[in-house]
Amino acid sequence: MKVWDLHCDTLAELRYAVRRGQPKDFARCDLMVDMDKLTRGDYLLQCFACFVNLGEEPLNPLQACLEEIDIYEQLLAQFPRLMRVRTPEDIRALPGSGRIGAMLTVEEGGVCLDDPAVLRTLYRLGVRMMTLTWNHPNGLAHPNSVPGNADDVWPCAAVTDKGVTEQGMAFLEEMERLRMIVDVSHLSDAGFWDVVRCTTRPFAASHSNARALCGHVRNLTDEMIRAMGERGCLIGLNYCASFLDANPDRHAVESRVTDMARHARYLCDLGGEDILALGSDFDGIGGRLELTGAQDMPKLADGLLQAGFTERQVEKIFYKNAMRFFEENL
């Protein structure tokens, strides 16, 4: 079963390793995503996010982002089987190529330093999807969780009074003009509805689940899921235990395939079966994981089939919905 994954944090982990003076060999290493694991998982495409933590990053955030783009370029040069994907034409060429697609994204709109010229430059460098925020407020928008603001930040209260800023609105307009996908994962509840109100094109939540099943604010409410379904949007199923497991003991949560299937069913029932894709969050999650890396994706396919999804539906979730969405919207 081919796999198209909307989100991983592998570039950041590779950058941290270089900064420590202990670079990793992407051919095979201890990360959740490497060439060997992508091959064993039968991947069609991996979206590689440039992740920057504004709260802890010692570098200028744009510099940190550019270092991760440079690592992405090095991977493309070192591994000819990786195929750069930026256009609908690239997507159409991918299935018969025998290669694994690599699409560049950004997780933290603050790397743009509130400057649309930086946004346009990132687009020229290949970035095709971007979250407005991560877990910290920036000049574009407010997120739904800020580490340190609560004793138990997983979960914490949704932000319903602060959304997309005036500058963020200008960025939304420019992202739509560029045909860069707006990613609402991490965005506050108020910000989500700002995006619904102020955009015209389909957008994505690259790695979010259903809040009704697990009350974490990183997940989507029923109203959000319905709105995304009506707009033709895309949701990437997140494998993080905190967004899957409703166990009130938040220190004992687990990431299980059965819970992934439960969230998948709920999202499809509310938003339609065209809405759901995969957004693993690999190399950005830890803890008790049934899926420990990209090589384990057949376990998820089997779990969805055992939960009553048809082969056709699993194919849509695993790669066809994402392939169609990006081909139509890039």
pLDDT of residue 62: 98
Q: Hey, is 226 helix, strand or coil?
A: helix
How far apart are the C-alpha atoms of 137 and 271, rounded to whole Å?
Answer: 29
40 within 8 A of 295, measured Cβ to Cβ: yes
- Domain boundaries of the chain, sorted by first residue: 3-329
Q: Does an H or E element contain 46, and which?
A: strand 43-51
pLDDT of residue 250: 83
How far apart are the C-alpha atoms of 188 and 163, rounded to whole Å?
Answer: 6
Q: Which CATH superfamily is domain 3-329 in?
A: Metal-dependent hydrolases (3.20.20.140)
Could you say which residues of the chain have pLDDT below 50? 149-152
pLDDT of residue 147: 60
| Overall pTM surpassing 0.85 (yes/no) | yes
Q: Hey, is 82 helix, strand or coil?
A: strand
How far apart are the C-alpha atoms of 2 and 229, rounded to whole Å?
Answer: 24
How far apart are the C-alpha atoms of 18 and 134, rounded to whole Å?
Answer: 23
Q: Hey, is 24 helix, strand or coil?
A: coil
pLDDT, tens digit, for every residue of 2-11?
A: 999 999 999 9
pLDDT, tens digit, for every residue of 258-312?
A: 999 999 999 999 999 999 999 999 999 999 999 999 999 999 999 999 999 999 9
